[in-house]
Structure 1
Amino acid sequence: MELIHRDTKDGLNLVGCYWGGKKEKACIVFTHGMYDNILENNFVELMGEELSKKGYGFIFGHNRGYGVINTILVKDRESGKFSNKIIGSTFEKFGESIYDVDLWVETAKSFGYSKIILASHSFGWLKNLYYMSKKGLDNVAGVIMISPPDTVGLVGRWEKSKEMFAEAWENIEKGNSKKIMEHKMLDIFPISSRTFYSYRRDGILDIFPLVESPEEFGYFSKIDKPIIMFLAERDNVIVETPQKDVEKIKSYAKSTKDFTGIVIEKTTHKYIKKEKELVNYIVDWVEKRF
């Protein structure tokens, strides 16, 4: 594995981790979830190693939402001067995530790969889905979804959300969009007013509406590539039951003829103690198709 430094189109210097493969095979480009990073993800290193052994490339690309609060070097496109920008999951703007996904897809292409599989864990799935909805599917050969959430729907079911949306909007109207909310996100992490407000119904993040379950499911239903999806038996993104969620998501995957849904038992959202089982499924799926 090697560390690679690349700049997004809006000037952020992000670090990626690259496991090399054969260029005639596919490269898996992985988008991590909220508050995550390479040091605290317990299965991507194994995933990279095992895929690389089989001749596939693997890129774990950090996005601006890594960690709770981070400091990223940014280059001004006009002046060329460098400065530091404080972002992380606490402050990120979801719409800007398209620059991050695009960066690592383009990096894989620059390495010589023509087949790219978009993989994700948790909140990273929404970033990949948003990227595909804006950029199309020309750069995508397949999709790996690990614990994909309906973040908007799950936040909407949270008892404190109504109060928090009101607080967030009040701060935004007063010009304090970066103000940290009084309550933590799902009682776990701090979050800024502007970031939390993007989790509202009909906002930019409302693109995977599993809780609401409308007849028209949006761009996801247009993906015509092979898809594999995982849920953990005790996943915190489950809406009904793991099995029902898998079947419901499969029913919305209307354009693909190749959908695989797997529930991994006796584990939670981070697949602790089930990392090898998860990775084995992924490697087998990739080998059979790419």
Structure 2
Amino acid sequence: MIPVLLTRIKTSDGITLEGVVVPPKKKGKIALIWLHGLTSRFSSGQTLMKELSSSCTKNQIAYFKFNTRGHDIVSRGPKQKPIGGAFEKFEECVRDIDTVIRLAKKLGYKKIILAGSSTGANKALYYQYKKKNPAVKGIILAGAISDMSAWKTGDAKKMSRAIRIAKQTKNKDALLPQEYGIYSAARYLSLFEAGHAEDVFPYHNPKANWKELKSVRVAVAVIIGSKDEHRDRPIKNIMDAFRKNAVSTRQNFSKQNSGGQAKSFFGIIIKGANHGFQKKEKKLAHAILKWIKRAVV
């Protein structure tokens, strides 16, 4: 049985985040921080938590997983303010991630691997773009699918109507009609209209400048399931877009590693995996640890 520390931390703007810390028996310098996806929470994905935390601790890596303010569909923030996936302001994820990193550093972990799944991947990349935190030595973008492209796999006309309604709504904190899901107008636009801060995987736009990814100067792994149900094009094409735009990671890595025996960018496709990697958790954990040993340690 793996010992788990249930923990509460508070962000700089007063939001309490619950989560877990799984420390290795023999302490190392590295901590992996896992960011959950849209409307998820720290306790979700128990199988992956077990596989990944076990693999990490066997390799002297601590495992951290905390709620962000976007946990669940709706939750309660300070002064009864509604937050959660329906209401969160994407840009505020920086405060959440900063708080977890501060905890990891306080506990003695000097090297941080920031890993996110689905919307958590968007947050991981956006955080490092904004903060350029020197403690972050690697970024894992799991299920890195563009929401702007993903909605095309569903009812595109319905989504277009929802975007139009959201843009016309004066009170952007108001919920959209329920047929469009439980989202405020502002949250819906952040997720599904191109050009917002959340749009950090813009392979849907051939003219996009990918400023977030190009700014990153640490090792990056993009991990996508071959059967991701939200893809709107071949996974290989998505990976090629990431690889093409991971310019700064390549340049920085070549300066630090003149031998050139490893890569700063890895595109990893998990065969048979869906967006959440269900039933492929062991493969995902193995791929992550292999990448850490090659690109970060």
The sequence identity of aligned pairs, in percent, is 24
1:176 offset after TM fit, Å?
Answer: 6.0
1:114 matched to 2:110? The reply is yes
Cα distance change, pair 280–16 in 1 and its aligned pair in 2 (3 A): same
Amino acid at match of 2:73: V
Q: CA contact under 8 A between 2:124 and 2:141: conserved in structure 1?
A: no
How do residues 136-285 of structure 1 correspond to structure 2 at under 5 angstroms? 136-155=132-151, 158-171=156-169, 173=170, 175=171, 177-184=173-180, 189-199=181-191, 200-214=193-207, 216-257=209-250, 258-285=264-291
SS at match of 1:245: helix
Question: Which of these residues, 8, 24, 27, is aligned with residue 31 of structure 2?
Answer: 27
SS at match of 2:266: strand
SS at match of 1:255: helix
1:156 offset after TM fit, Å?
Answer: 6.7
Alignment correspondent of 1:61: 66
SS at match of 2:293: helix
1:229 offset after TM fit, Å?
Answer: 1.5
Cα distance change, pair 112–264 in 1 and its aligned pair in 2 (3 A): same
**Whole-angstrom distance in 2 between the partners of 1:240 and 1:152:** 13
**Whole-angstrom distance in 2 between the partners of 1:114 and 1:23:** 12
Cα distance change, pair 224–239 in 1 and its aligned pair in 2 (3 A): farther
Q: CA contact under 8 A between 2:29 and 2:108: conserved in structure 1?
A: no
Amino acid at match of 2:186: R
Q: CA contact under 8 A between 1:147 and 1:237: conserved in structure 2?
A: no
> What residue ranges of structure 2 are gaps of 5+ in the alignment?
251-263
- The Cα RMSD (Å) is 2.0
1:50 offset after TM fit, Å?
Answer: 1.7
1:44 matched to 2:49? The reply is yes
Alignment correspondent of 1:17: 20
Alignment correspondent of 2:261: none
Structure with the bigger percentage of helix: 2
**Whole-angstrom distance in 1 between the partners of 2:283 and 2:104:** 26
Q: CA contact under 8 A between 2:48 and 2:285: conserved in structure 1?
A: yes
**Whole-angstrom distance in 1 between the partners of 2:11 and 2:206:** 34
1:165 offset after TM fit, Å?
Answer: 1.6
1:23 offset after TM fit, Å?
Answer: 4.9
**Whole-angstrom distance in 2 between the partners of 1:61 and 1:275:** 19
**Whole-angstrom distance in 2 between the partners of 1:208 and 1:15:** 28
User: TM-score, normalised on structure 1?
Assistant: 0.88
Alignment correspondent of 1:77: none
User: TM-score, normalised on structure 2?
Assistant: 0.86
Aligned residues: 275
**Whole-angstrom distance in 1 between the partners of 2:290 and 2:225:** 18
1:70 offset after TM fit, Å?
Answer: 2.2
After superposition, the C-alpha distances for 1:79-126 in whole angstroms (9 at most, x for unaligned) are xxxx44432111111121111111111111111111101101001111
**Whole-angstrom distance in 2 between the partners of 1:212 and 1:107:** 37
**Whole-angstrom distance in 2 between the partners of 1:118 and 1:55:** 16
